[in-house]
Structure 1
Amino acid sequence: MHWKKHVTGLTFSIFFVLSYFTNKYVLSVLKFTYPTLFQGSAALSWLPGSLLFVGNIYAGSRALARLPIAFFFTLHNASEVVHVFMERLIKRDVSWMKVISVSVVLLSAVSLPLHDPQFDPVGYTWGVIHLCSLGAYRVFQTHFKPNHLSDLEQHYVNYLISFLLLAFAAHPTGDLFGAMKFPFLLSLRFQSGCCASALLGFFLLLATVKLKSGLASEQCNMWIFLSKVMAICLSPFVFISDVNTPSLACVVFSHIGEVLLVYSDRILR
């Protein structure tokens, strides 16, 4: 029934917004910049995908800590440029509409740092690493996915590998024990934020798997788009960010490009 699909999509949107808001709160308000150790069957063939996943979530967390949610999603959207470029190399079959769409997304992402009134070079550097890792991960997931692994099993391997790698890396880089120097880590607000981030991330994962299993890919992409727009529109009421007209235009055009991408996927089916 159609109403069940809407309920699934709406549930996904709610967890999407709450998850990103909670992560942004823990990362930027509580100033805890080592989140991937706490946020988030085994197959050797999926190891490259897991490594790309680690790069994606680590760089994404670093970028989200420094950039407004709207700017983060503008860079996040540019991962589709990497995806389409690598698809072109592998399949050599990309529609002209998709090329136009990713061009709009890429131009928006490139223009954004030039117009950002509070330009943060470190945040944008992590954002570029995030979008490259995410784009490569999507290509690997699309073209090199092992047939014997379900989506849940892929995520299980991803989080297991990320925990092991980041746990071993935490001590030499100071990410874990260096963070413990701050007394607020023992506060109830901090502990509640981390617990909420972990729980919402888990529920978002389940909602994402449910959404992808019950809807066509273009419908899933549309719900993801609507969730991003909802998060962007609500974020100024929760987080303080300095946005001017040119940077806002970059955000708007990036999401126009995303809509064109969804439409291009639809007409190709």
Structure 2
Amino acid sequence: MCMRRSLVGLIFCTCYLASYLTNKYVLSVLKFTYPTLFQGWQTLIGGLLLHVSWKLGWVEINSSSRSHVLAWLPASVLFVGIIYAGSRALSRLAIPVFLTLHNVAEVIICGYQKCFRKEKTSPAKICSALFLLATAGCLPFNDSQFDPDGYFWAIIHLFCVGDLVSVLDFPFLYFYRFHGSCCASGFLGFFLMFSTVKLKNLLAPGQCAAWIFFAKIITAGLSILLFDAILTSATTGCLLLGALGEALLVFSERKSS
């Protein structure tokens, strides 16, 4: 069982790393600026793979009544917002910056649990939320590659995450790189979601949070080597503060589980 959990964790990290790097390559290097089409392609590939997985018996899909489908409509709208706003933000921001801002969604979730569900919050989790908020507040003033549109779409993206509890004239070589990358993005996005579900089903919340944190660290670190990213000492300090905040979040999850 321990070997199975470790294998699922490693598969999740691989899918997480490959998915973010591929999306960044399509959106930034290939400069594909049509996130609606990008989202549609990912949804099409994901839907086909989900149907195949259901036919093979890998996943179980229960039929739902019309009332249940209507109840899922708000979540569906938020899911569209997550992908669209996330694509717009990722095309303009460095991956470490994007992931750091993405973590603020945890603060929104924590605030909702504390204020509306009256759940008990540990001191470590409160400190984590404060560190993540401080990092997000400091980043725009210390980011040497500051892009207001990128930060705007990142804010829309994280709020959607928190609330969810064309004919193109391509050169010949570019044509294959683009379609190959988009196809890979669709497959990787599906397998990332699939491995995330398996990870959360097999592991305790604290262990799951630790694997997600590890995946973010290796993704952010490798992205600096592969894409243009200017990290000043101030920006690095903000990112390290955000990492400390998320490490505290992992600690609080492991302690409470």
SS in 2 for 1:38: helix
Measure how far apart 1:184 and its partner are.
Answer: 4.9
User: What letter matches 1:183 in structure 2?
Assistant: F
Structure 2 gaps, min length 5: 44-62
In the alignment of these two chains, the number of paired residues is 229
Q: For residues 136 and 99 of structure 1, what CA distance do their matches in structure 2 show?
A: 19
Q: Deviations over 1:146-195 (max 9, x none)?
A: xxxxxxxxxxxxxxxxxxxxxxxxxxxxxxx3xx2443597111111111
CA-to-aligned-CA distance 1:124-163 (integer Å, 9 cap, x gap): 00011111111111xx3xxxxxxxxxxxxxxxxxxxxxxx
8 Å CA contact 1:184–1:190 kept in 2: the answer is no
The match for 1:166 is none
Hey, what's the Cα distance between the residues in 2 that align with 1:3 and 1:66?
39
Task: Please give the per-residue CA displacement for 1:90-111, whole angstroms capped at 9, x wherever unaligned.
Answer: 1223233211110100100110
Distance in 2 of aligned mates of 1:249 and 1:182? 42
State the match for 2:219 in structure 1: 231
2:182 matched residue in structure 1: 194
The residue that corresponds to 1:71 in the other structure is 97
Contact 1:56 1:134 (C-alpha < 8 Å) held by counterparts: yes
Q: In structure 2, what is the equivalent of residue 38 of structure 1?
A: 41
What CA distance in whole angstroms lies between the structure 1 residues aligned with 2:243 and 2:105? Answer: 13
In structure 2, distance between residues paired with 1:53 and 1:251 = 26
Q: Equivalents in 1 of 2:17, 2:236: separation in Å? A: 20
Equivalent residue runs for 1:44-123 within 5 Å:
44-93=70-119, 94-123=121-150
Tell me what 1:12 maps to. 12
Q: Secondary structure at the match of 1:39?
A: helix
Stretches of 4+ moved more than 6 A in 1?
Answer: none
Q: What is the CA-CA distance between 1:73 and the residue it aligns to?
A: 0.4
Per-residue Cα deviation, 1:195-230 (whole angstroms, up to 9, x for no partner): 111111111121111111111111111101000000
Q: 1:206 corresponds to which residue?
A: 194
8 Å contact kept, 2:105–2:161: yes
Query: 1:126 maps to what in 2?
Result: 153
Return the letter of the residue paired with 2:104: A
Q: Give 3-state SS (helix, strand or coil) of 1:253's partner.
A: helix
2:241 aligned partner:
253
Structure 2 length-normalised TM = 0.85
Tell me, yes or no, if the aligned pair for 2:97 and 2:239 is still in contact at 8 Å: yes
Give the distance between the partners of 2:217 and 2:239, measured in 1 at CA: 10
Instruction: Specify the code of the residue in structure 2 equivalent to 1:37.
Output: G
Aligned to 2:162: 135
Separation in structure 2 between the aligned mates of residue 96 and residue 237 of structure 1, nearest angstrom: 36
2: CA distance between counterparts of 1:16 and 1:181?
29
Instruction: Indicate conservation of the 8 Å contact 2:206/2:255, yes or no.
Output: no
Q: Residue 262 of structure 1 aligns to a residue in which SS?
A: helix
Paired with 1:267 and 1:257, the residues of 2 have a C-alpha distance of 15
Which segments of 5 or more consecutive residues in structure 1 lack a partner in the other structure? Answer: 141-176
SS at match of 2:146: coil
